[in-house]
Copies of this chain bind each other. A is one copy, B any other.
Amino acid sequence: MLTERQLYILKAIVDDYITNAEPVGSRTISKREDISFSPATIRNEMSDLEELGFLEKPHSSAGRIPSQKGYRYYVDHLLSPSILTKKDVSEIRSQLAVQFHESEQVIQQSAKMLSQLTSYTSIVLGPEVFESKLQQLQMIPISGEQAVVIIVTDSGHVESQTVQFPESVASADVEKVVNILNEKLRGVPIYQLQQKLSQEIAAVLKKYVSKYEVMIHTLKDIFSDQQQEKVYYGGKTNILSQPEFNDVERVRNILNLFEEDAVISKHLRSEDQGLTIRIGEENEFKPFDDLTIVTATYTLEGKYIGTLGILGPTRMEYPRVISLMEYFSKDMSKLLNKKQRD
C-alpha cells in the first residue's frame, strides 16, 4: 500500500536517523545522490508517512524521526542486510580461536565481543551446564545432617550444593544411593537427570533403600537447579555512550536492573527459535519500553541451548546488529558442537 517512493524515503529517513540521532529534514533527503525529487515533494511524502504512523515530529518545525511503527516496518521490509567487513570477521575469528576449557568461557567471550562490535550492551543467557553429561556424582558429609552434593560433568564443570538430610536417613543408605546413581546415571546429559530420576531410578531405589522418598525429593531439587540459565553481560556501560542516555537517573534505573539477573533473564528470553526483534513498547517490560532488544538463540545438535541478546536504543543499527547476531548464533552453535565432539 506504500508506494515505491514512500518506501524509499522511509528507508532513507531511518538510515539517516540511525547514524546521526537527529531529526531528518526534507532537504537532507533530497540532497542524496540517488534521489531526484525536490524537498517539497519529499515533504509531501513525509507528511503522508506521518499520517500513516511511520514517522513523527519532535516538534512542529523539526525534521521527522521514525516512530516505533516506522522502525518495525523498516526491520520487516526495508533493511539492506549489512555484510560484515573482513575486519569484523577476522577479529571474531581470532578472538574465538582461543582454546576454551569450558563452554562457559565461550559464552562469556561471545557476550564481550558482541558488545564490543555493536557498542550496545549484550546479554547472553546460557545454562551453566547443558548437553554435557554426568561424569560423577558425589555426596560428601560435612557435619551432622549436612552434606555437599557435587556434580561433575564430562566437560570438567563442577556444580555443588549443600543439602540437609533428616536424621532418620542412614548414612549407609546415602552411600548406597550415590553408588546406584553413579552406576545408572553416568553419561546421562544433565538436562535429562531429573526425568531419569523419576522414571528409572525411583523404582530401583525403592527396592534397596528405605526412606527413599526423601532422597528422591532432595535430588530432584538439586537437578532442577542445574537447569536454570545463567546471565552473562558484555559492555554493561556501553549503552551510556548513546546520546539518548544522557540522563543519570535513567541510566541508574537500567543499571540497577542489570543487577537482577532473574528479571533480566525472564524478559529477555523469547519463545521463538531464531532471531527476534522487539522495538520499544513491543517489549512488555516497562523499563525496556524505549529500547530495542534483539535476541537470537543458539543450539546444540539442533536443540535450544541459550539466548543471545543485544540491548540498545530503538535507533539501533539494525542491519549490523542483525548480521552480527546471525553470525554469532551460528558460530556459537558451531563452536559448542565442536567442543562436544572433542
Please give the residue numbers on chain A whose beta carbons come within 8 Å of chain B beta carbons, in ascending order: 101-102, 135-136, 138, 140, 142-143, 146, 148, 150, 152, 154-156, 158, 160, 162, 236-237, 240-241, 245-248, 251-252, 255-256, 259
Q: Name the 9 nearest CB pairs between A and B, nearest first.
A: A158-B160, A156-B162, A240-B252, A237-B255, A142-B156, A237-B252, A148-B156, A140-B152, A136-B140
New A-B pairs, 17, CB < 8 Å, besides A148-B156, A240-B252: A135-B142, A136-B140, A138-B138, A138-B150, A140-B152, A142-B155, A142-B156, A150-B150, A150-B158, A158-B158, A158-B160, A236-B255, A237-B255, A237-B256, A247-B248, A248-B248, A255-B255
Instruction: Select the residue from A240, A247, A259 with max chain B CB neighbours within 10 A.
Output: A240
Contacting residue for A142 out of B138, B140, B154, B240, CB 8 A = B154
Instruction: Give the distance in Å from the alpha carbon of A248 to the alpha carbon of B238 in the complex.
Output: 11
Nearest chain B residue, comparing its CB with the CB of A238 = B252
Instruction: Give the distance in Å from the alpha carbon of A172 to the alpha carbon of B240 in the complex.
Output: 56
Instruction: Give the distance in Å from the alpha carbon of A102 to the alpha carbon of B162 in the complex.
Output: 9
List of B residues within 8 angstroms of A246 by Cβ: 248
Instruction: Give the distance in Å from the alpha carbon of A142 to the alpha carbon of B259 in the complex.
Output: 34
A148-B142 CB under 8 A given contacts A245-B248, A252-B240: no
Nearest chain B residue, comparing its CB with the CB of A158 = B160
- Tell me the minimal C-beta distance from A149 to chain B in angstroms: 9
- Tell me the minimal C-beta distance from A103 to chain B in angstroms: 12
List of B residues within 8 angstroms of A154 by Cβ: 142-143
Instruction: Give the distance in Å from the alpha carbon of A337 to the alpha carbon of B102 in the complex.
Output: 36
Chosen A-B contacts, 30 in total, with CB atoms closer than 8 Å, are: A102-B162, A135-B142, A136-B140, A138-B138, A138-B150, A140-B152, A142-B152, A142-B156, A143-B154, A146-B156, A148-B152, A148-B156, A148-B158, A150-B150, A150-B152, A152-B160, A158-B158, A158-B160, A236-B259, A237-B252, A237-B255, A237-B256, A240-B248, A240-B255, A241-B252, A246-B248, A248-B248, A248-B251, A251-B251, A255-B255
Nearest chain B residue, comparing its CB with the CB of A242 = B248
Nearest chain B residue, comparing its CB with the CB of A233 = B259
List of B residues within 8 angstroms of A252 by Cβ: 237, 240-241
- Tell me the minimal C-beta distance from A65 to chain B in angstroms: 22
Nearest chain B residue, comparing its CB with the CB of A141 = B135
- Tell me the minimal C-beta distance from A168 to chain B in angstroms: 21
Whether B240 and A251, one on each chain, are in contact in the complex, defined by CB atoms closer than 8 angstroms, is yes
Instruction: Give the distance in Å from the alpha carbon of A248 to the alpha carbon of B138 in the complex.
Output: 49
List of B residues within 8 angstroms of A143 by Cβ: 154
- Tell me the minimal C-beta distance from A294 to chain B in angstroms: 23
Instruction: Give the distance in Å from the alpha carbon of A319 to the alpha carbon of B155 in the complex.
Output: 52
Nearest chain B residue, comparing its CB with the CB of A164 = B101
List of B residues within 8 angstroms of A146 by Cβ: 156
List of B residues within 8 angstroms of A152 by Cβ: 140, 142, 148, 150, 160
List of B residues within 8 angstroms of A247 by Cβ: 248
- Tell me the minimal C-beta distance from A124 to chain B in angstroms: 16
Instruction: Give the distance in Å from the alpha carbon of A130 to the alpha carbon of B155 in the complex.
Output: 28
Instruction: Give the distance in Å from the alpha carbon of A162 to the alpha carbon of B102 in the complex.
Output: 9
Instruction: Give the distance in Å from the alpha carbon of A246 to the alpha carbon of B311 in the complex.
Output: 23
Instruction: Give the distance in Å from the alpha carbon of A259 to the alpha carbon of B102 in the complex.
Output: 21
